[in-house]
A = this chain, B = another copy of it.
Amino acid sequence: MRAALYMSAGHVVVEDVPDPALSEPTDAVVRVLRAAVCGSDLWSYRGVITRAERSRLGHEFIGIVEEVGSEVRAVRPGDLVVAPFTWSDNTCPACLDGIQSSCERGGTFGAPGADGGQGQAVRVPWADGTLVKVPGGPIGVDESVYAALLSASDVMGTGLHGAVMAGVAEGSTVAVIGDGAVGLCAVLGAKAILGAERIFLMSRHADRAAVGKSFGATDVIAERGEEGVAAVRERTGGLGVRHVIEAVGTPESWAMAVGMARDGGSIGAVGVPHTAPTLPLFQPLVHNLSLNLGIAPVRRYLPDLISRITAGTLDPGPVFDTVLPLENVAQGYAAMASRESIKIMLTTGDL
């Protein structure tokens, strides 16, 4: 099959690799229909972290189950499925707590030794605990929702996790720091799923702000840093907002999040930079802040996200502003790295 390989900073190729095969009775092999390029894929592309030459890339995909191991019960060949970006057994203590990203048998697609999503097929460990079937698919599911389903594999689940951790509820006032795909999905999750009323989106890119507004942002704030904090405080009677979603992960974005949170407020942080920052704790302590951080346990949210998407009540699809064939993945990395594109969706040919 064909799959994307990392060669070196700024250099990604598509080459022939061996077809995946079942190796454990709990595995499935999934033929990829759509895959995505993630902001975190750009770390090695930009050379800020090292990555093995010829390693597989990508951790976001939807596809059709091709083959299942003897112990797999929840999915069958021919099913349309969404894979969260981490696999999980969904039976260990962490999974039972809804923290499938901490599964004791878990791992991440595209990590060393695992297949990546940016290829024509993927071996999925712990298929029963990982894959979620799209009811009626593929025949009863229109291709027009593939983008939305693909977003559920990471960015929609991650943005929603940020909003959930920030305690967003019906009528909430919320600020979202980060106008990448995760930040935009946080806006959508806060609005369409949790019922927020007023949503500040920090953005200075017209294309991203437009998607954010269509997702429910009521105020787009172009200022950054202390000026951004002042702009949000000015619009909230000086008090700040009770719920902040931090979807960047840098010291600067954290300073903004802490600066605009109302005393007693909550920050939901899903921003994963290549190195997590250190945070000065004095301000959070003085202002009684709740800092809730987490690699999203996307698997927890998938069944609900899939039902909303197939019912037509949730459409995060517009975060993908560019569609490319897998063979052109290098062009996709370049477009995301230059911020020409918010997020790339890849189409694949047959295995």
Contact = CB atoms under 8 A, between A and B. Distances in A.
Contacts of A97: 262-264
B290 A291 contact: yes
A314 interface: no
A108 to B, nearest CB: 11
Interface string A45-64: 00000000000000000000
A239 B103 CA distance: 12
B279 A102 contact: no
A251 to B, nearest CB: 10
Nearest to A297: B288
B276 A285 contact: yes
Contacts of A169: none
A293 B289 contact: yes
A239 B288 contact: no
Contacts of A284: 291, 293
Given A278-B280, A280-B276, A290 B292 contact: yes
Interface string A21-35: 000000000000000
A93 interface: yes
Given A102-B264, A279-B278, A280-B276, A269 B285 contact: yes
Nearest to A282: B276
B288 A99 contact: yes
A101 B288 contact: yes
Interface in A259-301: 262-264, 269, 272, 275-282, 284-295, 297
Secondary structure class of chain A's binding surface, majority of residues: mixed
A346 interface: no
A348 B261 CA distance: 42
A94 B290 CA distance: 15
Contacts of A286: 102, 295
Contact of A287 (B102, B254, B280, B289): B102
A285 B294 contact: yes
Given A94-B263, A276-B280, A285-B294, 15 more contacts: A93-B239, A97-B263, A99-B264, A102-B264, A102-B288, A254-B281, A272-B285, A279-B281, A284-B293, A288-B295, A289-B294, A290-B290, A290-B292, A291-B291, A291-B292
B281 A276 contact: yes
A280 B286 CA distance: 19
A228 to B, nearest CB: 20
A165 interface: yes
Interface in A46-99: 93-94, 97-99
A53 B309 CA distance: 67
A293 B278 contact: no
A226 to B, nearest CB: 19
B279 A288 contact: no
Nearest to A280: B278
A95 to B, nearest CB: 10
A287 B284 CA distance: 20
| Nearest 4 CB-CB pairings of A with B | A288-B294, A276-B282, A102-B263, A99-B264
A293 B281 contact: yes
Contacts of A272: 285
